[in-house]
Amino acid sequence: MSAKVHPTSILSPDVELGPDVEIGPYCMIQGRVKIGRGTLIEGHATVGSRSGILEIGENNHISPGAVIGGPPQDISYKGEPTKLIIGSNNVFREFSTVNIATSKGDGITEVGHNCYFMAYTHVGHDCKIGNNVVVANDTHMGGHCEIQDNVVIGGVCAFNQFTKVGRNAFVAGSSVVNKDILPFSRAHGNWAVVRATNKVGLLRKGFSKDEVQNLHKAIRILIMSKGTVEESLARIQSECISSPNLDYLIHFVKSSKRGIAIARGVKAESLDSSEN
């Protein structure tokens, strides 16, 4: 089935539409834009920009008022043909915004597959969003943030530029994040720090109880140890059971550029509560 475009919408000549794409009323789609099969763009959405390049995969849903692929909010941007690449099966709710990249990094803002961005969320230039990410209302990410797979973020959160959130983490609502959030953890606060292991979330994603407990022990060492981070990592390698997830956790800490969002001396009950 060919694409269906409402007669009130405006598309530039460079726009490429896959089969079964539907464009609602009063949309503006401009620049070099490629939209994959089955994607729905509802009324009053703005997609693409004069200078950027936008690639959208299959079966995405862009809601009314969303602005996807607009220019980066960076005063150094001078119209370079940078990109936004979006995977498949994503939902962008009302008035969400995702910007193309600047030319300062690899020139690409990227969103993976199966993500859900609620109303008024913002993904800044050069961000890298993984797969199966859920971002609640009015949460904003500065430029160059990295949100890895299976992360859940509550509403009204703010992420400083270049911050990173590891896989399977949960960031509670109204948090302000200025350092990297450990994978497999729960974080909140202003400034946000890791408060617990994301036990419930990990079990729901199919992690075994033994693996969850192993990761919990590692996170507990990082949070509660009185020594340096390097000393905590040595303890983890000595006291915890080696696994791909544990290796990834250790690598995440070692490779952090902004520092890990931990506050030494967090009370033990916050790690051992029945909720977590």
Please tell me the predicted confidence (pLDDT) of residue 265. Answer: 54
Length of the chain, in residues: 276
Residue 263: pLDDT band with limits 50, 70, 90:
confident
The span from the CA of 172 to the CA of 244, in Å, is: 26
Instruction: Single out the residue of 201, 185, 190 nearest to residue 158, CA to CA.
Output: 190
CB 30 within 8 A of CB 12: yes
What distance in Å separates the CA atoms of residue 42 and residue 65, rounded to the nearest whole number? 8
| 139 and 209 fall within a common domain | no
Look at residue 80 in the predicted model and tell me its pLDDT.
Answer: 97
CA–CA distances in Å: residue 1 to residues 14, 22, 216: 21, 11, 50
Within-domain flag for 192? no
Residue 33 is assigned to a structural domain of this protein: yes
**Residue 252's CATH number:** 1.20.1180.10
pLDDT tens-digit map of 67-90:
999 999 999 999 999 999 999 999
* Residue that is last in its domain, among 128, 147, 166: 147
Answer yes or no: do 133 and 211 share one domain. Answer: no
Q: Is residue 14 annotated as a catalytic residue, yes or no?
A: no
Asked if residue 169 belongs to a domain, the reply is no
Same domain, 134 and 210: no
Cα distance between the two ends of the chain: 48
Q: Are residues 143 and 208 in the same domain?
A: no
The more confident residue out of 264 and 44 is 44
- Specify which residues 54 forms β-bridges with: 33, 84
**Residue 81 belongs to some domain of the structure:** yes
User: Is the pLDDT score of 174 beyond 70?
Assistant: yes
We report the CATH number of the domain holding residue 108 as: 2.160.10.10
- Segment 250-270 shows an average pLDDT of 79
Flag whether pLDDT at 247 surpasses 70. Answer: yes
Would residue 106 show up in a list of annotated catalytic residues for this protein?
no
Q: Which of 31, 124, 126, 166 is catalytic?
A: 126
Of 86, 27, 26, which is closest to residue 60 (Cα–Cα)?
Answer: 86
The answer on 138 and 28 residing in a single domain is yes
Q: Is residue 258 part of a domain?
A: yes
Last residue of one domain, picked from the residues 82, 114, 147: 147
Which among 147, 166, 182 is the end of a domain?
Answer: 147
Q: Domain check: are 95 and 212 in the same one?
A: no
Q: In degrees rounded to 5, what are phi and psi of residue 214? A: -65, -45
Assess whether 10 and 110 both reside in one domain: yes
CA–CA dist 119, 123 (Å, integer)? 12
Section 52-70 average pLDDT: 98
Q: What is the pLDDT of residues 182-227, one digit of tens each?
A: 999 999 999 999 999 999 999 999 999 999 999 999 999 999 988 8
* 270 neighbors 195 (Cβ within 8 angstroms): yes
Residues 137 and 8 in one domain: yes
30 and 126 inside one domain: yes
126 an active-site residue? yes
pLDDT tens digits, one per residue of 87-122: 999 999 999 999 999 999 999 999 999 999 999 999
Pairing of strands 16-17, 134-135: unpaired
Q: Kindly report the pTM of this predicted structure.
A: 0.94
Looking at the structure, do residues 30 and 115 belong to the same domain, yes or no? yes
Residue of 143, 166, 180, 188 marked active site: 143
Residue 27 in domain? yes
Does residue 98 contact residue 116 with C-beta atoms inside 8 Å? no
Q: What is the mean pLDDT of residues 219-237?
A: 95
Is residue 134 a part of any domain in this protein?
yes
**Do 210 and 131 share a domain, yes or no?**
no
Q: Is residue 185 part of a domain?
A: no
Alpha-carbon dihedral 241, 242, 247, 250, rounded to 10 degrees: 40
Nearest to 152 by CA among 124, 175, 179, 178: 175
Q: Which pLDDT score, from 0 to 100, does residue 264 have?
A: 62
pLDDT at residue 243 above 50? yes
Asked if the model's pLDDT at residue 53 lies above 60, the reply is yes
The domain of 232 spans 202-272
- pLDDT digit string (tens) for 147-159? 999 999 999 999 9
223 and 143 in one domain? no
- Region 16-41: mean pLDDT is 98
Specify the 3-state DSSP secondary structure of 168: coil
Our CA angle for 196, 202, 204, nearest 5°, is 130
Question: Residue 272 above 60 pLDDT?
Answer: no
In the chain, how many domains are there? 2
pLDDT of residue 276 exceeding 70 = no
Return the pLDDT at 226: 87
